[in-house]
Amino acid sequence: MGTPTSAYAAQSATSPLTSWSIERREPSAEDVSLEILYCGVCHSDIHSVRNEWGGAVYPMVPGHEIVGKITQVGENVSKWKVGDSVGIGCFVDSCRTCAACESGEEQYCENGATFTYNSEDKISGGTTYGGYSTQITVDQNYLVRVPESLPLDAAAPLLCAGITTYSPLRHFGVKAGMKVGVVGLGGLGHMGVKFAKAMGAHVTVLSQSEKKREDAMLLGADDYLAMSDPDVFKKNAGRFDFLLDTVSAEHDLNSYLSLLRLDGRMVLVGLPDPTPVSAFPLAMKRRSLSGSMIGGIRETQEMLDFCAEHEIVCDIEVIAMSQINEAYERMMKSDVRYRFVIDMASMKS
């Protein structure tokens, strides 16, 4: 017997999202409940709802870019109080004892983190439900604080798009003076540009056509390459220290690797279909190819504080909950600059 909560859910892989009611657990001594104010719309939501990665459980309530205000705290909760502005990202629990959890990399929990939606709910049983809803209850250790200076709506996508791009830039030591290329200019890419720029790098956007050149420069990029130009790979061979590849469509990784200098690294944060990688572009200049998935709680907090310090937020378009199906269609056409954010006040009217 939890708290009845309004939500939007997919009832199957082919049905549109519609209004539905879920139950949230009453906060335990270690829990915090919050009123969800905004939830960003991530490409993963579409993949999950349509069961493109398998393992979908219906009804499914997506959403893992959650920002809200605390409404209730359990008796053992000391670091949060009612009224605090907080965020929840892609996971809401993990084992807390494995090497990954102990080093603050809960997203890589060896026993499997509990993801914010469509994940086995080890506390209440059943399946977790995400942020396309009006409230949520979560353990006090799986929250982050949203700094006061950040607007809550534009901060929501930082919880996935933000940390997904911030974490590899930090982890692999991107710093002032480095030549960084951001491949793809969508929800992830536009954050990659802002972060790499704030870290002092010289930033180039690598996009398919000339279409996004002006946008890239407005976001702070120093240079722009249209990759459909047949000579572009040859002309820019060995140019970059670091490439952040945010593209989820199939593309030839080997060509992109050739753009790295000696010891350069390319990190994949999109999840493209399997692409054969050749040993040659790696071995010839001792290059590295890595992947990265979101970030831990501590690093997510560091990222939010970095955003406050550097006045970074996402570029967003706010929508009502009822516009979500239309928003998915537009995202499939890359028709959003750069993230949709659902205003949960629209669930109340």
| CB nearer to Zn ion: pick between 90 and 178 | 90
* 294 bridge partner residues: none
| CB nearer to Zn ion: pick between 5 and 246 | 246
Q: Residue 337 CB, nearest distance to Zn ion (Å)?
A: 17
Please enumerate in sequence order all residues whose Cβ is within 8 A of that of 79, keeping only pairs 6 or more positions apart, or say none: 140
Residue 170 CA, distance from chain mean position: 15
Rounded Cα distance, 177 and 203, in Å: 10
Q: Tell me: does residue 92 bind Zn ion (CB under 5 A).
A: no
Rounded Cα distance, 72 and 141, in Å: 15
Q: Looking at 143-151, 155-163, 166-174, 320-328, which segment touches Zn ion (CB under 5 A)?
A: 155-163
| 193: phi then psi, degrees, rounded to nearest 5 | -60, -50
Q: Residue 150 CB, nearest distance to Zn ion (Å)?
A: 18
Cβ atoms of residues 303 and 169 within 8 Å: no
From 5, 33, 48, 94, residue interacting with Zn ion (rule: CB under 5 A): 94
| CB nearer to Zn ion: pick between 131 and 281 | 131
The contact pattern for Zn ion, residues 44-73, with x = CB under 5 A and - = no contact, is: x-----------------------------
Q: Which two tokens stand for residue 173?
A: 């030591």
* 317 bridge partner residues: 340
From 86, 109, 163, 221, residue interacting with Zn ion (rule: CB under 5 A): 109
Q: Looking at 40-48, 142-150, 178-186, 188-196, which segment touches Zn ion (CB under 5 A)?
A: 40-48
The contact pattern for Zn ion, residues 287-326, with x = CB under 5 A and - = no contact, is: ----------------------------------------
Cα dihedral: 228, 316, 187, 238 (round 10): 60
Q: Which two tokens stand for residue 281?
A: 């572009």
| CB nearer to Zn ion: pick between 264 and 295 | 295
| CB nearer to Zn ion: pick between 64 and 179 | 64
Rounded Cα distance, 110 and 95, in Å: 8
* Burial class (CB within 10 angstroms; exposed 0-12, middle 13-18, buried 19+) of 60: buried
Q: Looking at 98-106, 115-123, 182-190, 304-312, which segment touches Zn ion (CB under 5 A)?
A: 98-106
Q: What is the largest CA-CA distance in the chain?
A: 64
From 7, 42, 191, 347, residue interacting with Zn ion (rule: CB under 5 A): 42
Q: Residue 102 CB, nearest distance to Zn ion (Å)?
A: 8
| CB nearer to Zn ion: pick between 100 and 178 | 100
Name the DSSP letter for residue 344. Answer: G
From 17, 101, 188, 312, residue interacting with Zn ion (rule: CB under 5 A): 101
Q: Residue 41 CB, nearest distance to Zn ion (Å)?
A: 9
Name the DSSP letter for residue 240. Answer: E
| Contact positions vs Zn ion (CB under 5 A) | 42, 44, 94-95, 98, 101, 109, 160
